[in-house]
Amino acid sequence: MTTFLVGTDSVATSERLVEYLEGRATDDDSIYVVNSLRGGDGTSDEDVLEGRDAIDAVEEALPNVDPHQLVRGNSPQEDMLEFAEKNDVDELIIGIRKRSPTGKLMFGSTAQDLLLTTEMPVVCVPLTEGK
């Protein structure tokens, strides 16, 4: 039995991550799905609804999904790593986007931060079709 943690921020991201998990997860596995929002003035009602839709997309497509929308003032990588440690997760699954070097410098990278701060296996699923 494997315990997965899916980090998602949109329905489109969820759909791509589900494609990966459909070929990987079995009925014996557990799947946590997390949408992390900053909270406070940085999070609108629309952000909360979009996050819920992203979670629902995973819940509707896969068995044994345990959904969580986290609004704790943490960055997504902080939320996912803390959640993974508390729930004995075996594998993190995230989506990655192609960005310019300037975009990476200005806005940071959740994927990069996760990869550099954990020893846990992290699967990075491209969010654009194979290029």
Asked if residue 122 has pLDDT above 60, the reply is yes
Asked if residue 102 has pLDDT above 50, the reply is yes
| 111 vs 130 pLDDT, higher one | 111
| Separation of CA 115 from chain center | 13
Asked if residue 131 has pLDDT above 50, the reply is no
91 in Cβ contact with 120 (< 8 Å) = yes
pTM reported for the whole predicted model: 0.87
Position 47 scores a pLDDT of 92
The two tokens of residue 26 are: 């079995």
Domain map (residue ranges) of the chain: 3-126
Q: What is the CATH architecture of 3-126?
A: 3-Layer(aba) Sandwich (3.40)
Q: What is the mean pLDDT of the chain?
A: 89
Position 129 scores a pLDDT of 60
Position 101 scores a pLDDT of 64
| Most distant pair of Cα atoms in the chain: their distance | 43
DSSP output for 42-100: G--HHHHHHHHHHHHHHHHHSSSEEEEEEESS--HHHHHHHHHHHTT-SEEEEEE----
pLDDT digits (tens, 9 = 90+) for 78-101: 999 999 999 999 999 999 877 666
Position 107 scores a pLDDT of 45
Position 106 scores a pLDDT of 43
pLDDT digits (tens, 9 = 90+) for 28-76: 999 999 999 988 887 899 999 999 999 999 999 999 999 999 998 888 9
